[in-house]
Amino acid sequence: MDSIGLIPSFGNFFYTAVAFVIALSVIVAIHEFGHYIVGRWSGIHAEVFSLGFGPKLWSRTDKRGTRWQIAVLPLGGYVKFLGDANAASAGADQATMSALSPEERRHTMHGAPLWARAATVAAGPVFNFILSILIFSAMFLYAGTPTDKPVIGGFHSLPGGSGQIEAGDTILAIEGTPTPDWAALMAAVDTLPAKDPLTYRILRNGKELTLTGPSIYPARADNIVPGSAAADAGLMRDDVIVAADGSPVRRFADLQTAVRAAEGRPVLLSMWRAGKTFEVTLSPRKTDQPTADGGFETRYLIGLSGAVFFDPATRKVGPVEAVKGAALQTWVIAKSSVSGLWHIITGAISACNLRGPLSIAEVSGAAASQGSSDFIWFIAVLSTAVGLMNLFPIPMLDGGHLVFHAYEWATGRPLPDSVLNVVMMAGLFVVLSLMGFGLFNDFSCP
């Protein structure tokens, strides 16, 4: 291949790398700022606040004596407090500590009260969760939430159009099945006949009408999972699958049936995109999917999700409702992450579900390519994951430091330096092993 042929690949790589660096930098900056600001409020002096590792690209020292810097390797960051032996706050710099007065030692991480040290350590993950909640809240405030009744706000393009239904219509029933709210409408999806068009009873301008419309849940791609078979095949949001292996696909359930029946073999899909038709062949992949009861099930999937054929009408939400919804969203992400990790450890699901930086970068680029809202949503999800990971009781991570502080609180004395050095090395080995395993999966897992 000549050098000109490499330009598209390089462009995609560059786009992915930039998206990854932006997402990671925002999350790391918030995490480390949590350590910094709570440490400052607790009377602990920060000597260095670094975004990235390695040689400095830029630095500035503020009036409090803290050096703020951006380093060349944008894969993390740290806050080095007065008296720390290293950026991980793993042990004290005895030479520095011995030269300080008792009053000055109070402003070090190792000379501060236990409550101040614990609060400073916990602040990093907590600020990650706060970032997630703030982002989710802002998006809920901006987008609103669907109205209680299934009211049509707008349409997505479909091969047969929207039939006789118009924006502003309230769906009262589909094929005789009442749909007084969203729960009833979604429950009806699985019971409706596999035909197109369907008969709708709607409310329009105070009058009830019986009209025809498309399948309530067509085989329209509402979201493409990054790194999936659908993504690799070039499918895009709002693509409509009209046939699978020659059989008509009138609803999303028909597509699911065809994918399950293939059991991993290639499936020929006939596609419709903005009035044009084309075909694509892709192979469903075994995927571990979370279930409602907190478990997982392994299914063959192509990596796209569907939705109803229209955009629901929305109502505004207040700050309290938005924050509640955002907190619940953050909790669900954290809970499913812990559940997934536990199922990997117990062997219930494939270890390929644990991925490394290359997969995260790929998802970053894919989210950015789908639009700013998807990218911002991804940052919120990743921030929750980073906050949760840092709470794991592994030395070198914030959770490990909190375990040390709990030991000190319970025994009245800190962990001996000789023991601390050993467990920190063990923690470093665990962290590097996990990173290496994730990177190995990035290359070896489909």
What is the Cα–Cα distance from 445 to 362, expressed in whole angstroms? Answer: 14
Which are the contacts of 406, defined by CB distance < 8 A and separation ≥ 6? none
Looking up tokens 């290496």 gives 436
Q: Quick one: 327 exposed, middle or buried, by C-beta within 10 A (0-12, 13-18, 19+)? A: middle
Q: Judge whether 382 and 390 are in contact, CB under 8 Å.
A: no
Strand duo 46-61 + 285-290: pairing? unpaired
User: Buried b vs exposed e over 162-192: b needs ≥16 C-beta within 10 Å?
Assistant: bbebeeebbbbbbeeeebeebebbeebbeeb
- Residue 423: HSE in the Cβ half-sphere, 13 Å Cα cutoff: 17
Choose among 418, 435, 430, 434: nearest CA to 90: 418
Q: Judge whether 165 and 152 are in contact, CB under 8 Å.
A: yes
Choose among 324, 354, 374: nearest CA to 441: 354
Q: Judge whether 189 and 216 are in contact, CB under 8 Å.
A: yes
DSSP string, 31-71: HHHHHHHHHHHTTPPEEEEEEEEEEEEEEEE-TTSPEEEEE
Q: Quick one: 149 exposed, middle or buried, by C-beta within 10 A (0-12, 13-18, 19+)? A: middle
Is residue 263 part of the annotated active site? The answer reads: no
Helix intervals (H) in 317-356:
319-345
What is the Cα–Cα distance from 92 to 86, expressed in whole angstroms? Answer: 8
Given the residues 32, 47, 104, 362, the one annotated as active site: 32
Helix intervals (H) in 83-219:
94-98, 102-105, 114-143, 182-189
Choose among 362, 440, 434, 389: nearest CA to 23: 362
Positions annotated as catalytic residues are 32
